[in-house]
Structure 1
Amino acid sequence: MRASFHLFLAVAAILSQRAQAADILVATMTFGSPWMDVAKIAEALASRGHVVTVVAPASEKSDLMRKLPSLRYEFYGHPEKPPMMKNNLKTIPQAFAFSSITWLEFMAMANKMTSGLLENCEGMLSDSQLMTNLKNTHYDVVLTYPGTSCGSIVAQYLDLPLVCTLRSMPTGLDIRATGVPSPVSYIPTVTSGLTDQMTFLQRVKNTLVYFGLTTMGQVVFERSMDAIASRTIGSNFTMFAALARTDVWLYQSDVLFDFPRPTMPNMVSIAGHMADKVKPLSEELEKFMQSSGDAGVVIVTFGSMVATMPAERADMLAAAFARLPQKVVWRYAGTPPPSLGSNTKTMEWLPQSDLLAHPKTKAFVSHCGYNGITEAMHHGVPLIGMPLFGDQHDNIVRVVARGMAVSLDIHSVTSEEVYQAITTVITDPRYKEKAKFISTIRQDQPQSPMERAIWWIEHVIKHGGLPHLRSRAIELPFYQYYLLDVLALIVAVITVILLSCWKCCLFACGMCKRSRTDIKHKTS
């Protein structure tokens, strides 16, 4: 009898959980690091019993279904035609990572990336069969990574609650869509390479970069995206209006990485949500780590997009690593450099987070990709940063400001400078202390970042959206937001009062003058 009762409770619990399961639509770019961030959340949602459907290019079908079998898919486009953006993400970093580029080359690269994003969005929105299927299926919420997709426009088209996860948008569109104040006097703009402590000239630079990026974003990216939406699904759908509907913004950064800034109630930090439980290393790798003794190990990787590098740069790094008393684990897929030392182990792929968590790890030489830096912060490992492109230059500035890293220029650094930087970071206890402090603070929270992300998404689903959390600032026209009408009224009233006083004074002076004239006439 008792066993039957327990079985009944178990079945009831399972059915109850299934009854609360939601249909979640993920509409975002399905490759690159933004996709890795979203996919992690999607898998966690699926593990809780939710039905998660991903909108993806048909050319990605086999790869996605092999890597993420727990998710469902809606495909669009030609199965034999990979998205232009995917090819750009492979070729552009390799082409520009280890060479200095001019402003014109940078603009050409940005234009190529934007073209890839726009092509991907047009392929999605112009697929009438896909849009019809989405319209006829009942979804509870849309999850997207804005800036690299038109998922927000899909949510607007389907009239569904929207959750956006991101770090930031270089064009500042998220700032306008949230209605949050963002004073450039102390908030560094993306790509500015500045901190929250700026000199006068740095504030001038920050202001120019901010207005340059926001203007370019509105003129080029937003207008192009709005034009695509207009000719595919209707003129009522725009990027700004779509993002302004966002119920919750899940930001993948916090005040330990970025700098303190104003936030709105629907802006939630999920920094560190990519952190997995530490898994044991392979027997071979564990043996190598243990063989380092008290000297420890240095982990080296320049990211998944850059597997190899120019032979001269690789040999320069290898020579620096060979001089270290530490062992070195280096993700490097090219031909072993001539100066490679016996203390260095090269691998085509390495378990980065598990290695950073290992007690033998002393330092991390990195290209400063955001996920790598957050893993180093999570595990308390000091950094030697050599940024290559994109947001990596901003990333290293932030961890240097926190005192847990040093920065080197990969284009001009020498083998001696690399050796000295690694030695300094390992031997100077201040770097380890700062890294450990940040790790302790980051892990001292009542909820894990992933649990927080899931709770907010389920909170949106449960209540059918959270419009009460949105700032009314986004609804105000420019002149109202900056109180220009109020200032105009105040100036007008003050002007009328001053003119009235001036007229009264002139009238009083005239009366006095007339009275003195009348007195003179009478006395004469």
Structure 2
Amino acid sequence: MPRLCGIFVFLSICLVSFTPPCDGGNILVFPVDGSHWINMKILLEELHARGHDITVMRASTSWYIPEKSPLYTSITLEMDSEIENFFDVYLQEHMRAQREGASALTFFKLTKDFLSMIAEAHSIWSDALVQILDDKNLVKSLMDSQYDLVLTDPAIAPGVVLAKYLKLPIVLNVRWITSGEGHFAIAPSPLSYIPVPGSGLTDKMNFLQRVKNMLFYSIILFQQKFLVGPSYDTICDKYIEGGCNIISLLQEADIWLFRSDFVFEFPRPTMPNVIYIGGFQCKPAQPLPADLEEFVQSAGEHGVIIMTLGTLVNALPREVADEIASVFAKMPQKVIWRHKGEHPSTLGNNTLIVEWMPQKDLLGHPQTRVFVAHGGTNGVQEAIYHGVPVLGIPLFFDQYDNLLRLQERGAGKIIELGNVNGHSFEQGLKEVLHQDRYRQNMQRLSRLHRDQPMAPMDQAIFWVEYVMRHKGAPHLRTDAYNMPWYSYYCLDVLLLLLTAVTIPLLSTLAVFRFLCCRSRRKNKSKQH
């Protein structure tokens, strides 16, 4: 018995000695709720598995972020205001407008409502930030915790300001910032070939499209200057030594973990501290629950169609849902449809209505033929990863732009909500199902996406730990952001060069003119 114990101790020591050391960091996380939290949580799961300690700041009114979790310790901010009802009303109005036909007046009204909703959200969170910074005990606790960095989603700005206040390195889990798409704040973004989100344009624009692109960019500038910026500028002036603004704080971030890649995105200039992790949440499919697997296999050679509208929209307008259900009922495929609320009256026996579906596992199932989706970033990237063509019904935000990128690459087709009826939906569905080019193009994108030297999740974790190891990454940031606009575009240099050329030229002309005039005067005097 003692001999066995000795062997056990020896083996235990060997195992411990061969286990790589894990220097766990201390990370403060300021996430964004809703679908953004889904992305952040996946990253936190991996960081937790690597031995890092995580603290998450959340609102008491949070929709998705639980107070208690095995992944993290939470700091809950008491907040009375929340915009969920306003958001639901906006979504319903937006879908109704698309169905009835969006006139110029309707477009401006929806834009005004959207900007008002965004301004209200930032106002709520700027109030929460003041609450944090005025709480002496909370601030002391944050400082005493000796965090290694702040990980935040800059779609709202409190995490960025808090990191500056605590003098901590910052890593952004980002695609969207306070005023739109993140690239426009950090990288050169010529509007001649880089489409502004919401414009519905590609990287190939004619003159009128470039005019439209410029107008949409002006909305971004207006939003940042007059709606979002003022909510935080007063806080920066009061709490941050020397003041600041949100764009400058974003430009000071050490690493941008950007939730996109150039398999999906149009080519564009970028910066060395932007790390592309598009599809980092994607994994090989896991087995389906037994009842769902049985339903999928019952489809036989025809396969399965899956449909979901994401986390924010439970159901389409009633007449649209009925039209779609009637088309599904005529198809030989089986259909799995995430749909909440009252079931469509035209529902067929081949259609399974569920309130939740294992989307990743269904997309990775060999029986899945088409993904009918709203075009959210997560769903689009998962469709690319698994090589499933998409029939898209964009509803709002960036969804049309996401689907447009697939359509441009021949891997998906768009039907706008206002054009959805029985005929258009059936025609679109059959086109994506039966024209092989859609699946072939999507599978090509899948091969390109997977052919990387390092998996996107591994890249994300490496760079988070890189910032912790080196206390930041200032060497990857440019100082160009601090240059005056005329210096950035070298207008002062151009002016000097023009002056250097013009003055000698004008001087030479002046001398010749003087000599010519003098010569004429001499000739005239001789003639007299």
Q: Please, what TM-score do these two structures have when normalized by structure 1?
A: 0.92
Matched, 1:84 2:82: yes
Q: Which runs of 5+ in 2 are unaligned?
A: 1-5
- How many Å separate the matches in 1 of 2:65 and 2:329? 38
**Is the 8 Å Cα contact of residues 385 and 407 (structure 1) preserved in structure 2?**
yes
One-letter amino acid of the structure 2 residue matched with residue 26 of structure 1: V
CA distance, structure 1, for counterparts of residue 236 and residue 76 of structure 2: 19
Letter in 1 for 2:66: L
Shift of 1:402: 1.0
Distance 1:449 1:319, change over 3 A: same
Q: Partner letter of residue 52 of structure 2?
A: H
Indicate the residue corresponding to 1:50 in structure 2: 52
Pick one of 158, 163, 166 that aligns with 1:155: 163
User: Structure 2 residue aligned with 1:459, among 444, 462, 466?
Assistant: 466
- For 1:188, the equivalent position in structure 2 comes to 195
Choose which of 270, 277, 283 in structure 2 pairs with 1:270.
277
Q: 1:465 to 1:8 in 2, by over 3 A?
A: same
Q: Deviations over 1:102-140 (max 9, x none)?
A: 222331232123212321232133231433321222011
Q: In 1, Cα distance between the equivalents of 2:325 and 2:508?
A: 81
**In structure 2, do the counterparts of structure 1 residues 6 and 245 end up closer, same or farther at CA, with 3 Å as the change threshold?**
farther
Cα distance between partner residues in 2 of 1:498 and 1:205: 42
When residues 298 and 61 of structure 1 are mapped into structure 2, their CA distance, relative to the original with a 3 A threshold, is: closer
CA contact (8 A) 1:248 1:268 kept: yes
Structure 2: distance between partners of 1:92 and 1:453: 34
1:345 is aligned to 2:352: yes
TM-aligned CA distance change 1:490 to 1:263, over 3 Å = same
The answer for the alignment partner of 1:16 in structure 2 is 21
- 1:151-197 deviations in whole A, cap 9, x for unaligned? 1111111111111121233735844642x211111110111100001
Match of residue 379, structure 2, among 369, 372, 380 = 372
What is the DSSP-based 3-state SS (H/G/I as helix, E as strand, rest coil) of the residue aligned with 2:403? Answer: helix
Of 102, 123, 132, which residue of structure 1 is paired with 2:128? 123
2:29 to 20, 23, 26: 26
Q: Per-residue CA shift, 1:458-504, capped at 9, x if unaligned? A: 01111111101001211211111111211221222223122202211
The one-letter amino acid of 2:54's match is: V
C-alpha change, 1:479 and 1:175, in structure 2 (3 Å) is farther
Paired residues of 1:61 and 1:75 also in contact (CA < 8 A): no
Q: Identify the match of residue 165 of structure 1 among 168, 173, 193.
A: 173
| Aligned 8 A contact 1:191 1:394 in 2 | yes
What RMSD, in angstroms, separates the aligned Cα atoms of the two structures?
A: 2.2
The structure 1 residue matched to 2:477, chosen from 470, 478, 481, is 470
Q: Is 2:218 aligned against 1:217?
A: no
Q: Which residue does 2:337 correspond to in 1? A: 330
* Residue number in structure 2 paired with 1:96: 94
Of 496, 503, 508, the match for 2:510: 503
CA distance in 1, matches of 2:504, 2:142: 62
Q: Distance in 2 between matches of 1:131 and 1:173?
A: 31
Find out whether 1:107 has 2:103 as its counterpart: no
Give yes or no for contact 1:186–1:197 (8 Å, CA) kept in 2. Answer: yes
Q: 2:501 aligns with which of 489, 494, 504?
A: 494
Quick check: 1:84–1:120 contact (8 Å CA) kept in 2? Answer: no
Whether 2:76 is the aligned partner of 1:69: answer no
Given that 1:271 and 1:449 are in contact with CA atoms closer than 8 Å, whether structure 2 keeps it comes out as yes
Contact 1:177–1:474 (Cα < 8 Å) also in 2: no
Cα separation, partners in 2 of 1:221 and 1:175, compared to 1, 3 Å:
same
Q: Which TM-score applies when normalising by structure 2? A: 0.92
Q: Provide the rounded CA distance (Å) in 2 between the counterparts of 1:55 and 1:15.
A: 31
Give the C-alpha shift of residue 61 in structure 1: 10
Q: Which moved more, 1:129-138 or 1:436-445?
A: 129-138
SS of alignment partner, residue 201 of structure 1 = helix
CA distance in structure 1 between the partners assigned to 2:380 and 2:72 by the alignment: 28
Q: Which of 246, 271, 285 is the equivalent residue of 2:253?
A: 246
Question: Does the aligned pair in 2 maintain the 1:367–1:386 contact within 8 Å?
Answer: yes
Residue equivalent to 2:324: 317
- Maintained 8 Å contact 1:98/1:410: no
Residue aligned with 2:66, SS = helix
Task: Point out the more displaced range, 99-108 or 369-378.
Answer: 99-108
In structure 2, distance between residues paired with 1:61 and 1:360: 34
* Structure 1 alignment gaps of length 5 or more: none
Distance 1:172 1:199, change over 3 A: same
Paired residues of 2:156 and 2:177 also in contact (CA < 8 A): no
Percent identical: 36
TM superposition shift of 1:396: 1.4
CA contact (8 A) 1:170 1:213 kept: no
Change (3 A) 1:146 1:138: same
Which residue identity lines up with residue 444 of structure 2 in the other structure?
F
In 2: Cα distance, 1:273 partner to 1:137 partner: 29
